[in-house]
Structure 1
């Protein structure tokens, strides 16, 4: 691609990343909400994340071929249209209060996001110098996670403002917000289609005949992202369930705390990379910090709020028990993982970028499978707090990519 920075493409992609964040992190509020109206246990409720994120694995490679035919700009518009259809499916889901219909709607939303993510992430990587790609993705992540802060608050304010004693009536509260969302997504699709967003143009490269699986940094990058998305979703989408399990009120709003710390992390990335931190070092520090926080989650108090009081006791913000605060702080540890793995994995792929991007997008299946493993562990052990220790495996894999795997030019080293 001819690398040329442009304010207009950044603004358009920024708007799309806001949509990614808003739609994605509504799941954290939907999980405890649907758990109540559909009478689910913790394991069943986490099929919300499974249906949403498994779409990335099922649809990523087909969407890569679509992008090769349509181009990146038209592909983004198509993704928004599919998302609008997914939002509309929430209307019959809410009318029937059937969990399977909700899952179908979530899968459709995830399919639309698959197209958008497959197109937009390499676009941001390739629109400027590769050395500062993590900085650009951090800016997009800042926008994305700011939407993630707002989404649970908006959901709680709109959906739970008029509490209905009948679960089926409560489900109907979803109809108007998702109808509005569908209209906004359709309007955005038209905007992107007719916008001045330039198409990606690839230069000739020496890897034209190379199979994408011949690039270990891409394959292992997908492995690292699988475990990263798993722990990111666990941190963002189970905090409400965890709070519910220890008797806290306003559980549907707590994803905002995790997203708040992710926003802080993205600000650090936008400022510090590459001026003060290399992409590799930021990834290493993130993995180590995540491991430390998981021990804090598992072994700190579920009643003491001392750490929370030190952090923001003066502000009037709802205080979290220490253990819940450590779950929220995982957002800070997670923030720079996605922005750093993408440029490290896609460097010099040339015309293989779409397939490499699709492979990385498929790894978002970690958000479908690992929360289910977390939920099943919590259900079997009757201890959700210690179940968070499963995340150590995730950060160990990320650490390996940061220290060794991203440097591999071939499978022999």
Structure 2
């Protein structure tokens, strides 16, 4: 998913002291794995909570609304906080807040309260946001600036590993525990132990990172006192922000509805616990596609690769909408493969040529991740009104814009 949230552009503005940072980078990969794992669990929670509380699709999508809404609300304050306390303490704080969010699932289940579940998700996502705002730029400056993108790509591969494994965890420990003979209260309580386990893991990581002697790095801010204009004056940056918005929204919306889609009688008629395991193909495809895309873009311009992938996603969505059975099922899963390179490609194309406005542009792109809160909710409304299968028309609109951005909108041009 959209894991490289903040600081991808920081290599343009930061430099580090010389040193061997292998141990620090190895430790940081665990963080990328954890937040990918936890974020992907939302795809399991949505059908589970939908059944427990008898929710409409739009109501169930409030899970993603609260989760990704936290990114929009917390990102900028988190950036200010990290400047004061430093990267390592920011990581520890993010882990602790995320653990508190996980622990809040326990009273939410005991109270059988959907609003409390949503509150718990907001706390959890706030912690992950602080974690990302700390870890991404930290990875970026732990080494030579010219290899920053390579380091981020490597650590983000572990994020994709987390999103690939999480569906099996959720299917086994959450959906498998829920049976037809269970009461709503018992089904709600099935999330308590898995999220307490996650809270424990997060607290262990917090203790480890509080104890570790990670390198202290110095940020280098260019002494530019006569900065004029704004990142908003760059058309390709503004369109890139829209691209991030629709991409994250489409990716999250599709992943969120997979379990319910596979349960449809004309698709696969799968039980939720079985369908959940297939989500791994969607997110696993994204992991594989990153390696393929990185090789392809060595020879083909990034904009063209982006447009091709978005066009392929459109074709697959049309099959998803108008076909049935295994064809529709595998078509929607294959979209993950073509999603793979979209976030980093849109991001890098959007910040290209911003010069002294790069940091501001990076922040604008980070805020655009709120698309993961809004687009899924709109698709939920569509699913309630025109049906689940036809609701996949919305992601098509998102990918049409991305095709345009890859071919034309990404070309630098001042407004």
**Do Structure 1 and Structure 2 share a fold, with TM-score over 0.5?**
yes
Residue in structure 1 matching 2:270, options 244, 248, 262: 248
Comparing 390-399 with 99-108, greater Cα deviation is found at 390-399
Check the 8 A contact 1:21/1:144 in 2, yes or no. Answer: yes
* 1:157-306 map, 5 Å: 157-164=172-179, 165-193=182-210, 194-199=212-217, 201-204=219-222, 206=224, 209-210=227-228, 211-246=230-265, 247-249=269-271, 250-270=274-294, 272=295, 275-300=298-323, 302-303=324-325
Q: Deviations over 1:118-172 (max 9, x none)?
A: 3334455566778876654443343212211211111111223444511201221
- Shift of the 17–156 alpha-carbon distance from structure 1 to 2, 3 Å rule, reads same
* 1:6-405 map, 5 Å: 6-124=21-139, 135-164=150-179, 165-193=182-210, 194-199=212-217, 201-204=219-222, 206=224, 209-210=227-228, 211-246=230-265, 247-249=269-271, 250-270=274-294, 272=295, 275-300=298-323, 302-303=324-325, 321-347=326-352, 355-382=360-387, 384-405=388-409
- Shift of the 327–262 alpha-carbon distance from structure 1 to 2, 3 Å rule, reads same
Give the TM-score of the pair, scaled to structure 2: 0.85
Give the TM-score of the pair, scaled to structure 1: 0.85
Check the 8 A contact 1:280/1:403 in 2, yes or no. Answer: yes
Question: What's the offset of the Cα at 1:96?
Answer: 1.2
Residue in structure 2 matching 1:406, options 400, 407, 410: 410
- Shift of the 141–208 alpha-carbon distance from structure 1 to 2, 3 Å rule, reads farther
Aligned residues: 391
Which residue of 2 is the match for residue 312 of structure 1?
none
Which residue of 2 is the match for residue 2 of structure 1?
15
Which residue of 2 is the match for residue 314 of structure 1?
none
Question: What's the offset of the Cα at 1:75?
Answer: 2.3
Check the 8 A contact 2:21/2:215 in 1, yes or no. Answer: no
Question: What's the offset of the Cα at 1:397?
Answer: 2.3
Q: Whole-Å Cα distance in 2 between the matches of residues 125 and 406 of structure 1?
A: 24
CA-based RMSD of the aligned residues comes to 2.7
Check the 8 A contact 2:141/2:217 in 1, yes or no. Answer: no
Check the 8 A contact 1:50/1:369 in 2, yes or no. Answer: yes
Q: Whole-Å Cα distance in 2 between the matches of residues 56 and 410 of structure 1?
A: 28
Q: Whole-Å Cα distance in 2 between the matches of residues 222 and 119 of structure 1?
A: 21
Question: What's the offset of the Cα at 1:351?
Answer: 7.5
Q: Whole-Å Cα distance in 1 between the matches of residues 292 and 215 of structure 2?
A: 28
Name the SS of the counterpart of 2:220 in structure 1: coil
Q: Whole-Å Cα distance in 2 between the matches of residues 286 and 202 of structure 1?
A: 37
Question: What's the offset of the Cα at 1:267?
Answer: 2.5
Q: Whole-Å Cα distance in 2 between the matches of residues 75 and 16 of structure 1?
A: 12
Question: What's the offset of the Cα at 1:45?
Answer: 1.1
- Shift of the 207–12 alpha-carbon distance from structure 1 to 2, 3 Å rule, reads farther
Q: Deviations over 1:210-250 (max 9, x none)?
A: 54434544433222111010111022111112112333222
- Shift of the 85–217 alpha-carbon distance from structure 1 to 2, 3 Å rule, reads farther
> Where does structure 1 lack aligned partners over 5 or more consecutive residues?
304-320
